[in-house]
DNA sequence: TAGATCTGTAACCTATTTAATCACAAAAGA
DNA sequence: TCTTTTGTGATTAAATAGGTTACAGATCTA
């Protein structure tokens, strides 16, 4: 996935810098310096609209993080590190911190997790749902039935299906158009394709999954077609596991009936 | 560099989660769920000391980010994603955001940067200073003189020196003990070693650098020996470039005199 | 079934942070 | 010398987030 082109680079940069923990003043000051190269408090204030007297505080913050160098003349001059250096700095720092988080969480986590969670669970967000799906794929022993709208059939999912198929799990894939099927046959050679079970209207469709007849997931897109920037499309899912799980029972009934009696294509 | 062992995993995890943008309640709630696996609001409240009535808000926040799944029963049950999944989620998200930041900053940055910055600049922090040093190394054409306390002679720096030497730049390295010299000779075959110019007492020492006789950097460690957790050691540096730069003039005088008349070892 | 307890939502208060303004002395320039 | 600029500190205002309380509807228990 490549980066979407940005409509307003300065404010995009400011937004990201703030999310990385900088104050609004510091973020705007850094961006101002980035376009100036170097400048005085007055220069910065003019292009960033940060009150001049507060530029100094912002600089302190940036200087402590190594993002800005200072020339102690009068007037003081400030110099922002290069875009590339700044990006790498953040990347390293965040890498370091996720590693700390990982080891801390590993130590916290009890030894035996996932002792058969009962009931029906809900998940929000496409990436989170994809994560669950991939985890279920990884736990599959025998069979996967997966129906999806094509929007959600990313390379990541296709690849995971391929790896699972290589492990000897049989794949039944539904809901995808002919040309996408052709593209997929290479990655998942043994996959069986089947038609959508019902009219899979594009507005509220999502995905349906069943693994080994005992783990299921259903999702729906809320703003499928008319997604806007202020109101983007969002995916919501429910999942459940275990023979007796109500969601499993219902989906198993549907899938089994249809896969046995329907025409596998 | 490997991760230091952690003294208090739960609070370390909470700290990192907060720095990644979660509220204190959400962070503590997630950590509580991580050790419980799953639980109700009451369970969470007891182990996390988050007021029970606010657990629900925290869960909303976590659910929206896909870190927690919800079971809409009564009482509601909450389930935290695995440590591994959580870490990967953050890693991806942060990777994505640094990429956005990078492209935004690239578009902001003027074409010609670094038009010979005049004056003397100060930098704070070991990593930031190392960054400058590495940038100077990369710009070297002819000669590098580098003196450092061994603490600061990391593999990263050694490697960069090696690559620069491979480009045909001659390296003069000072201040390191005999056994470290031996280790380095492999990575930087052509390097010339020399004794410390003066008594390089370990408390306030840092590094000295001169590149091509026109770019210099000097640093000092503030709490070299007696660094504690509450008052960690910190490095501060000044740098300058250009023939006429005062810092350059002074350092060039020292180095030239000593390197010509002193005994290169 | 009645009473007691528990659960989830919402409103509220307070502490902390942070953005924004102002006052002013020292320094630099005219 | 006078004016302008610069940097520091104090102060105010607004927004955020932590913490508390009230309460109605569920759930449990005797």
Q: Which of residues 61-120 of B touch strand D (CB under 7 A)?
A: 74
Residue A198: predicted pLDDT: 54
Mean pLDDT of B41-54: 96
Per-chain mean pLDDT for chain B: 87
For residue B71, which residues of chain A lie inside 8 Å, CB to CB? Answer: 119-122
Highest mean pLDDT among A194-208, B17-31, B189-203: B17-31
Look at residue B184 and tell me whether its pLDDT is greater than 90: no
Residue A197: predicted pLDDT: 55
Measure in Å the smallest separation between the Cα of A33 and chain B Cα atoms: 9
Out of 3.30.870.10, 3.90.1150.10, 3.40.50.280, 3.40.50.920, the CATH code matching A121-261 is 3.30.870.10
Gap between the Cα atoms of B234 and B158, Å rounded: 21
Q: Using N-to-C axis directions, what is the helix angle for B126-138 and B155-166, rounded to 10°? A: 10
pLDDT (tens digit, 9 = 90+) per residue, B64-120? 999 999 999 989 999 999 999 999 999 999 999 999 999 999 999 987 776 667 889
For B114, nearest residue in chain A (alpha carbons): A37
CB-CB under 8 Å, B97 with A19: yes
Strands B235-241 and B206-211: unpaired
Residue B225: predicted pLDDT: 61
How many Å apart are A11 CA and D17 C1'?
25
Q: Within 7 A of a protein CB, which nucleotides of strand D?
A: 5-10, 17-22, 26-27
The low-confidence residues of chain A, meaning pLDDT below 70, are 1-5, 114-116, 196-204, 224-231, 256-265
Instruction: Supply A84's token pair.
Output: 């590339």
Non-local (6+) Cβ contacts of B131 within 8 A are: A66, A81, A85, A88, A89
Break chain B into its structural domains and give their ranges: 9-82, 121-261
Q: Which of residues 152-191 of A touch B (CB under 8 A)?
A: none
Judge contact between B41 and B52, C-beta under 8 A. Answer: yes
Q: Using N-to-C axis directions, what is the helix angle for A24-36 and B83-108, rounded to 10°? A: 40
Share of chain B above pLDDT 70, in %: 87
Look at residue B153 and tell me whether its pLDDT is greater than 50: yes
- pTM for the model: 0.89
For residue A109, which residues of chain B lie inside 8 Å, CB to CB? Answer: 34-35, 82-83
Instruction: Supply A152's token pair.
Output: 């959600």
Neighbours of B55 (CB within 10 A): 26
A245: nearest Cα among A207, A212, A197: A212
CB-CB under 8 Å, A69 with B34: no
B71: nearest Cα among B38, B35, B113, B48: B38
CATH architecture of B9-82: Orthogonal Bundle (1.10)
B33: nearest Cα among A11, A39, A110: A110
CB-based contact, A9 to chain B, within 8 Å: yes
Residue A194: predicted pLDDT: 79
List the single range of B43-47, B169-173, B252-256 with lowest mean pLDDT: B252-256
A105: nearest Cα among B1, B35, B15, B38: B35
For residue A31, which residues of chain B lie inside 8 Å, CB to CB? Answer: 105, 108
């Amino acid at each position: 996935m490549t980066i979407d082109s940005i409509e307003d680079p300065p404010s995009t940069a400011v937004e990201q810098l703030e999310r990385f923990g900088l104050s609004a003043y510091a973020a705007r000051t850094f961006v101002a310096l980035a376009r100036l190269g170097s400048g005085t408090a007055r220069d910065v204030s003019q292009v960033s609209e940060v009150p001049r007297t507060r530029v100094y505080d912002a600089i302190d913050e940036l200087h402590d993080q190594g993002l800005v160098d200072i020339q102690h003349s009068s007037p003081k001059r400030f110099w922002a590190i290069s875009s590339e250096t700044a990006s790498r700095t953040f990347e390293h720092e965040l890498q370091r911190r996720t590693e700390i988080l990982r080891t801390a969480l590993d130590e916290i986590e009890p030894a035996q997790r996932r002792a058969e969670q009962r009931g029906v669970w809900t998940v929000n967000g496409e990436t989170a749902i994809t994560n669950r799906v991939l985890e279920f794929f990884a736990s599959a022993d025998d069979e996967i039935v997966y129906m999806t709208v094509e929007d959600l059939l990313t390379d990541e999912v296709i690849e995971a299906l391929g790896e699972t198929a290589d492990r000897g799990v049989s794949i039944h894939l539904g809901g995808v158009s002919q040309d996408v099927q052709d593209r997929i046959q290479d990655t998942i050679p043994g996959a069986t394709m089947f038609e959508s079970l019902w009219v899979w209207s594009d507005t509220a469709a999502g995905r349906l999954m069943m693994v080994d007849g005992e783990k299921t997931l259903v999702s729906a897109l809320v703003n499928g077609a008319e997604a806007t920037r202020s109101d983007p499309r969002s995916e919501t899912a429910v999942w459940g596991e275990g023979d007796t799980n109500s969601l499993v029972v219902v989906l198993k009934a549907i899938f089994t009936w249809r896969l046995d009696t329907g025409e596998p294509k």
